[in-house]
Amino acid sequence: MKTKKQVLTENADYKSLINAVISNIGMESVNDVINHGAEAGFAGFTYYVDTHKFAMKHRKQILQLLNEMADSLGEDVVQMVSTFGVFRRSPMDNEDKKELYRYLGEARSEQSTITNLMAWFALEEVCRMFDE
């Protein structure tokens, strides 16, 4: 596993996002996130009130990360997000799509499945940065 210093050096654009994730879960939980995903439950990423706050506070870096991933996969962000987590089991409905577009457009977003998903996406992607 990479050190925090290595990850911050390699991912300087995401410094505050990386620090925020590690501040919440601690370095000792990084491998657990990598192995089990955000759904396993981690400090600061369990309750909607917490994940909403995190997703809104770090929205710009989360959007940057989403766009980079979608570009690397040759997909658009909405299509990519529609395959995440809960949407694998139950397709995104119109309300979810509206909320996703609000979040992506940096409009006021409600506490929702979408903001929870964005926080979990950030958690998992930051932890993957530590994987060698």
Whether 85 shows a pLDDT value over 80: the answer reads no
- The predicted pLDDT at position 106 comes to 83
- The predicted pLDDT at position 94 comes to 86
Q: How many domains does the chain have?
A: 1
Task: Give 90's pLDDT tier (boundaries 50, 70, 90).
Answer: confident
Residue 6 to residues 2, 21, 61, 76: CA-CA distances in angstroms? 6, 16, 19, 30
- Is 96:104 a contact under the CB 8 Å cutoff? no
Whether 83 shows a pLDDT value over 90: the answer reads no
Tokens 């192995």 belong to which residue?
A: 35
- The predicted pLDDT at position 119 comes to 97
Average pLDDT over every residue of 77-90:
85
- What residues make up the domain containing 112? 4-129
SS (H, E, C) the chain: CCCHHHHHHHCHHHHHHHHHHHHHHCHHHHHHHHHHCHHHCCCCCCCHHHHHHHHHHCHHHHHHHHHHHHHHHCCCHHHHHCCCHHHHHCCCCHHHHHHHHHHHCCCCCCCCHHHHHHHHHHHHHHHHHCCC
